[in-house]
Amino acid sequence: MSNALTRCAAVAVLVAPLVTATPAVAAPSTLNWQPCRQVQEHWYPDDDRTECTTVTVPLDHSRPHGRKIDLAVSRIRATDPGKRRGVLLMNPGGPGNPGIGMPFSMLGTKLAELNADHDLIGFDPRATGASGGVECEATPADGPEPDPKASPEARFRQDYERNARTNARCTGYDRELLTNLSTRAVADDMDLIRAALGERKISFFGISWGTALGAVYRSHHDRHVDRMLLDSVMPADYALETMNLGASAAKQANYEVLAAWLAERDATAGLGGTAQAVTASISDLVAKLDAAPVTATPPGGKPREYSGREVRTMLTYKRAVWPQVAESVVALRDGGAPPLTGDEPELEGFGLTPVWYGGLLMQRAVMCNDQGKIPDVDEAWRQVRHREEKYPFFRNGHGYGNWCAGWPLPATPWELKRATSPLQLSGHRYETTTPLFFAEQMRRKIGGALLTVDDSTHGSLWFTGCAEKAVRFYRTGETSSGSCPGVS
């Protein structure tokens, strides 16, 4: 199709026979498994253990005999069948991230030993990856980009209207599909996957948005949960603005520590002897660069333009690189060469990013369908102004902007509830993607124990020494509180 039309592409469909799941009691599975590297394009060449199949589910779970969709499911069998406890489903987050490769990825983490007594199960959520991933990008027909010469408010309103036109067009592509993209729908899919596997109960491991998926599943299918661990937890009272405010607040809290750290090094940094003086110096630099960006060449790099945006991004970087942050700020102030570019996402630990390889439309649809009432342009601009006044360096929050502008589809709220199955939550003390207070909020809402990982890295639990606590939880049901060391 031409670029002027909606791009909607199905991706990588499995060829294994389809099996329709029903939410019946557990029964022997009749799924037909085949090696993923034989039926899945671009599979890991060194993976000879993961098997793939498909499970067919209703598009609309309230109409079980209506339109069907196919879900890609993967499995790595337990290595010690005599000790097999059951299955461990997992989701890497997003929403929109494919998950059929997650079991193989887990074998490279400190949770790998769980494969001795658990079948590891992954799946691509509906409208993602090999489960019918679709795209719908903005086109010139949606209107021009915001005028860079317009005022900030005018640019914001232009962007809102352009997003609203894109959303109206994209939801019109397949309104029934887009209406049924929600966390609740994927949670109900999980229960049909459970039934298709022939399991009475499942354990679950979710990261980032996967924690919302797990919380929703446990709220509505608790009797089918064995044990559940959720790492880098989403807020219980979800909305895009909740995410934006949470990210801004967490970045501000970390920045205040950075400002004090810089003040202690005034003799070398020269940014001020107090946190307030440091903030004043950086504010002046950011305003200057926003008004007139400069060109500088990082060591070993190419000349690039630096505006206030790059400095604001650097202020969110992990503590391990604060010396380079200080050098970069001073270099930009003094006309030197900064060691950082302000474009190092691995230093932010930022997680819920757009998925350009087949899940972006699903990501936007789920996040907009889940949140309920969409703010109009006046309310959306008020939210931006509020963040700007409270967190001037971090006013963009998560950066979702006007993703849900004019979203025309009905809301599908999570409806979280307390339940009885064993639940372990883990949050990261300094992270800004899903701040620790999100996990605290979720624990108050649905229960469980909260383990605090002392790092700033989103979803890092399975790479840290804390993983031994996760392994113990899945094997014994013993939860952990307190804290443990994270990644550097």
pLDDT digits (tens, 9 = 90+) for 157-175: 999 999 999 999 999 989 9
Contacts of 478 (CB under 8 A, 6+ apart): 472
332 part of a folded domain: yes
The pLDDT of residue 299: 87
Is 190 in the same domain as 323?
no
Is 301 in the same domain as 220?
no
Is 190 in the same domain as 290?
no
Is 224 in the same domain as 305?
no
Positions in the chain whose pLDDT score sits under 70: 1-28, 346-360, 488
165 part of a folded domain: no
Is 311 in the same domain as 419?
no
The pLDDT of residue 152: 92
456 part of a folded domain: yes
The pLDDT of residue 9: 32
Q: 10 Å Cβ neighbour count for 2?
A: 6
55 part of a folded domain: yes
CA–CA distances in Å: residue 53 to residues 4, 18, 49, 358: 36, 7, 13, 20
Is 329 in the same domain as 188?
no
The pLDDT of residue 28: 64
Q: How many domains does the chain have?
A: 2
- Up-side HSE of residue 422: CA atoms within 13 Å toward CB? 18
Is 201 in the same domain as 258?
no
Contacts of 454 (CB under 8 A, 6+ apart): 428, 429, 430, 483, 484, 485, 486
43 part of a folded domain: yes
Domain residues for the domain of 270 are 247-343
Instruction: Tell me the CA end-to-end span of the chain in Å, nearest whole number.
Output: 47
Is 427 in the same domain as 456?
yes
The pLDDT of residue 488: 65
Name the pairing type of β-strands 68-76 and 449-454.
unpaired
CATH code for position 432: 3.40.50.1820
87 part of a folded domain: yes
404 part of a folded domain: no
150 part of a folded domain: no
Residue 229 phi/psi, 5-degree rounding, is -125, 130
Is 33 in the same domain as 97?
yes
Is 229 in the same domain as 114?
yes
Alpha-helical segments (H) within 25-148: 36-39, 102-106
